[in-house]
Amino acid sequence: MKTADEIYELLKKEFGEAILSLDKETPVEPIISIAPLHTNKIALFLRDNEELKFDSLMCLSGVDDANGEKIKEEDGSETIKGGTLSVYYHLYSIPLKHKITLKASVPRENPEIESVESIWRTADWHEREAYDLIGIKFLNHPDLRRILMPYDWEAGHPLRKDYKNPEFYQGMKVPY
């Protein structure tokens, strides 16, 4: 069983620059921030390292941080420019019984992050969901399609904070 500090040290030793920070100010769980374009390598290390053995990805969530510049439009709605979108990974090790939370932030205008689907197959649908609802693009994902929304939904990604309901979907009025 390892604490967040020890995991952070191990990762820092292995990956150096790609491990950004350890946030311990959170009320419940410490979070390690990692670089988005190294997530697959870090994930493989976390899974296969003898001292860590994170064999189970409990949850993968996409989040719109809404920390960019908020621009008011004429009709009262808001558009967000800049800032970041984030992906949170909650990992658990069944043999060693320890947990860790990882976070990777990507710029809103170019939300590209490496997929961890090849390391934990469960990430497949979670990443599709994050792509569908938040609009994060997972590089090297084998099948990045929408999953919950209709495949031909053109109005964007609904869980973004500045999402606007479309007026029509395939000729049908949406707020019916």
Interface residues with other proteins (CB under 8 A) are 25-29, 31, 55-59, 61-64, 88, 90, 94, 97, 101, 120-122, 124-126, 133, 146-150, 158-159, 163
Nearest distance in Å: CB 1, other proteins: 12
**HSE-up of residue 48 (Cα within 13 Å, Cβ side):** 8
Nearest distance in Å: CB 112, other proteins: 21
Minimum CB distance to other proteins smaller for 11 or for 119: 119
Minimum CB distance to other proteins smaller for 17 or for 151: 151
Nearest distance in Å: CB 47, other proteins: 9
